[in-house]
């Protein structure tokens, strides 16, 4: 999470959605930086509103706007699946070694979710569960140029993003029945992605 005081803007780092690249490019100019430990770096919107926004309010009357990214839910899960295939998780309950993407998504759709598939939800990350408020400006991950253009306009300097913390890239596929179940069970995530910005607001 990054806070830019002059711009009145907070960037919330949705996991597996390019947040590390944004962090590397912008941390040096941010006024408040939450990084390293995932609980800090990936501060959810509910916790931000509950604690961090109030802390910022101790120093300014201006309530910051919030911005974040969202990824197509199936693509997002694919990134988690590849990431957890890494050797550093071998032999742990979170490893996806030796399983198919179908098996991973089956786990994600289960209740309770097995440790390898317990990766949360983008809708829950970006939405306050009690009052229904959401991050104000949510950009699609596949509309990265629009997101970068928005940041450049708000912050006032050119931004170049490098590829950081990228999951291994190999083809995976999901069976049609599981894709249908995923869309039904996580319809809120899909609806939020479909409504997300593909160009700068205004």
Q: Report the pLDDT value the prediction gives residue 189, as an integer from 0 to 100.
A: 98
Q: Which candidate, 156, 26, 176, places its Cα nearest to that of 35?
A: 26
Domain assignment present for 201: no
Distance (Å, whole) CA 131 – CA 129: 6
Distance (Å, whole) CA 117 – CA 84: 9
Q: Which two tokens stand for residue 77?
A: 């899960």
Domain assignment present for 202: no
Would the pLDDT of 180 be above 90? yes
Domain assignment present for 145: yes
| pTM assigned to the model | 0.94
Would the pLDDT of 201 be above 90? no
Domain assignment present for 40: yes
Q: Encode pLDDT of 125-170 as tens digits.
A: 999 998 899 999 999 999 999 999 999 999 999 999 987 656 667 8
Domain assignment present for 36: yes
Domain assignment present for 200: no
- CATH number assigned to the domain comprising residue 100: 3.40.50.300
Q: Report the pLDDT value the prediction gives residue 187, as an integer from 0 to 100.
A: 98
Q: Which two tokens stand for residue 91?
A: 């032999």
Q: What range defines the domain where residue 138 resides?
A: 2-195
Domain assignment present for 122: yes
Domain assignment present for 8: yes
Q: What's the number of domains the chain is made of?
A: 1
Sign of CA dihedral 38, 39, 40, 46: positive
Would the pLDDT of 16 be above 60? yes
């Amino acid at each position: 999470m990054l806070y830019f005081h002059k711009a009145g803007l907070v960037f919330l780092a949705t996991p597996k959605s390019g947040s590390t690249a944004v962090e590397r490019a912008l941390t040096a100019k941010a006024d408040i930086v939450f990084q390293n430990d995932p609980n800090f770096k990936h501060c959810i919107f509910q916790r931000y509103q509950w604690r961090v926004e109030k802390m910022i309010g101790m120093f300014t009357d201006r309530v910051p706007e919030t911005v974040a990214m969202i990824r197509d839910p199936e693509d997002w899960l694919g990134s988690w699946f590849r990431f957890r295939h890494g050797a550093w998780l071998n032999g742990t309950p979170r490893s996806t070694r030796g399983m198919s993407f179908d098996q991973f998504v089956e786990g994600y759709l289960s209740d309770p979710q097995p440790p390898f598939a317990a990766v949360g939800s983008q809708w829950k990350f970006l939405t306050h569960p009690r009052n229904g408020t959401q991050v104000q400006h949510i950009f699609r991950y596949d509309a990265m140029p629009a997101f970068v253009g928005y940041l450049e306009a708000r912050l006032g300097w050119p931004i170049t993003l490098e590829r950081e913390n990228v999951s291994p890239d190999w083809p995976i596929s999901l069976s049609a029945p599981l894709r249908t179940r995923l869309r039904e069970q996580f319809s809120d995530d899909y609806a939020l992605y479909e409504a997300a910005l593909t160009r700068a607001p205004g």
